[in-house]
Amino acid sequence: MEVDVRVAKTQLFRLLDQAALGEEIVITKGGKPFARLVPAETLPHRRWLGSAKGEFTVPDDFNDPLPKEIEDLFWK
């Protein structure tokens, strides 16, 4: 759903309710997209540095060059 910014100002609570139900609302300004209202659940979760500590190990050869046959796949 697209809504002009002036309409959004007067209908904010109704638009928030609709977004909470899963509808994406695009707020336009001068006919062009300006902002989006989306449900809060779709926002990415904050990542914490070190949160996966101990879940995997980086192999010793991680930074070694790729074998020629694999490297060639990237340059076709």
What 3-state DSSP class applies to 11?
coil
What's the pTM value of the predicted model, to 2 decimals?
Answer: 0.51
Q: Which of 67, 11, 66 minimizes the C-alpha distance to 37? A: 11
* Residues 35, 69: Cα–Cα separation, whole Å: 46
* Residues 45, 34: Cα–Cα separation, whole Å: 23
The ranges assigned to domains in the chain are 1-39
Q: What integer pLDDT is reported at residue 51 of this predicted model? A: 84
Contact between residue 3 and residue 28 where contact means Cβ atoms under 8 Å apart: yes
Could you please state the CATH topology (level 3) that the domain comprising 1-39 is classified under. YefM-like fold (3.40.1620)
Residue recorded with tokens 């910014």: 5
- In tens, the pLDDT along 21-35 reads 889 999 999 999 999
